Amino acid sequence: MMKKWLQAAGLLAAAMYVLPAVAQDAESCKKIRFVDIGWSDITATTALATTVFEGLGYAPSTTIASVPISFAGLKSKQIDVSLGYWSPMQDGMVDPLVKAKNLVVLPTPNLSGAKATLAVPAYANEAGLKSFADIAKFQKELDGKIFGIEAGSSANAKVQQMIDKNELGLGGFKLVQSSEAGMLAEVQRAIRQKKLVVFLGWEPHPMNIQMQISYLTGGDAYFGANFGEAKVKTLVANDYLARCPNAGKLVSNLIFSTDVENRLMVPIMAKVLPATAAKDFLKQNPELLTKWLAGVKTYDGKDGLPAVRTSLGL
């Protein structure tokens, strides 16, 4: 009798062991709210993250907002995740929010080796426009303009500060603010006409492989050393990692490269839908999934990697 009881108990324990796994995250975590600050690199990485989360059974959404509004959304917990914190460029905006415990910066950057500073077409560099100190010398040829990105960005603020303080003789210049696409359209128009133009350049971005550009030297005091060398970091709402540990694990695992982002941004900037471009890219580069999904489960608690591979038709 005792033997039969033990056998029955063993069968019960085995049955309990193979019961469907419960959700790793609470129901409130299923809807992951990303913010895209409107830069192509962040559009690309957010699309990759969204594709993977969808394969895990989550329901991600993305809000497009300016940099200041993205920070405000994280602070108010209307946004869960931003993959777009460029450091040190945005440190002055982020540091007070971190100190006030309004948001959290993940310790590992999602991208290293990035850069952002003023740039010119290669022919302008050859004509003598090689450094920040040269800009004022070409004020007439530049129509007194420096082209930036969207209003409210920290990069624009650095340029405007130089103008306001007449640093390097830039007091007579005007900062032209517009969207990334608008700025690049102006640059491409100038290149077609072989005109001189100074603009905010950065990597990762297809501009580095689609146009012949040169980054200006001498901007260390404004954009940082090594042409504004930067790390792109991930921001999350203050309690997100504790509240949604499985989703938070994936967010923490997301590490990209400039090569990956440069290549993915090409179709996105050619007007391919970011979601489509991301799925196609992951089908062609499935090896990226292994590290991203290490220790990550589906929303209902199953192994993450095979689920995402299946969702992509791999």
Architecture of domain 25-112+231-311: 3-Layer(aba) Sandwich (3.40)
Mean pLDDT of 238-247: 97
Q: Please check whether residue 225 is in contact with residue 186, taking contact to mean a CB–CB distance below 8 angstroms.
A: no
Q: Is the pLDDT of residue 89 over 90?
A: no
Q: Is the pLDDT of residue 10 over 60?
A: no
Mean pLDDT of 99-121: 96
Model pLDDT, residue 159? 97
Q: Is the pLDDT of residue 178 over 90?
A: yes
Q: Is the pLDDT of residue 107 over 90?
A: yes
Mean pLDDT of 85-101: 94
* Burial class for 194, CB neighbours closer than 10 Å (0-12, 13-18, 19+): exposed
* 12-47 per-position pLDDT tens digit: 343 333 434 445 799 999 999 999 998 889 999 999
What percent of the chain is predicted at pLDDT more than 90?
A: 85
Q: Please check whether residue 174 is in contact with residue 81, taking contact to mean a CB–CB distance below 8 angstroms.
A: no
pLDDT band, very low/low/confident/very high, at 75 (cuts 50, 70, 90):
very high
Model pLDDT, residue 269? 87
pLDDT band, very low/low/confident/very high, at 277 (cuts 50, 70, 90):
very high
In the CATH hierarchy, which fold is given to the domain comprising 114-228?
D-Maltodextrin-Binding Protein; domain 2 (3.40.190)
CB atoms within 10 A of CB 192: 8
pTM, whole model, 2 decimals? 0.76
β-bridge mates for residue 131, sequence order: 217
Which DSSP state fits 204? S
Q: Is the pLDDT of residue 186 over 80?
A: yes
What is 27-55 written as a DSSP string?
Answer: GGGSS-EEEE-S-HHHHHHHHHHHHHHHH
| Ranges of each domain in the chain | 25-112+231-311, 114-228
Do 25-112+231-311 and 114-228 have matching folds?
yes
Model pLDDT, residue 94? 97
Mean pLDDT over the full length of the chain: 92
Model pLDDT, residue 20? 40
Dist CA 110 CA 21 (whole Å) = 30
Taking 3-state DSSP, the helix, strand and coil percentages for the chain, each rounded to the nearest 5, stand at 50, 20, 35
Mean pLDDT of 70-89: 95
Strands 81-87 and 230-237: antiparallel
pLDDT band, very low/low/confident/very high, at 152 (cuts 50, 70, 90):
confident
Model pLDDT, residue 209? 86
- The winner for highest mean pLDDT among 38-42, 194-198, 207-211 is 194-198
Tell which residue, 148, 120, 147, has the closest CA to residue 134. Answer: 120
Mean pLDDT of 77-86: 97
Between 275 and 11, name the one with better pLDDT. 275
Q: Is the pLDDT of residue 284 over 80?
A: yes
Least confident of 10-24, 81-95, 101-115, 232-246: 10-24
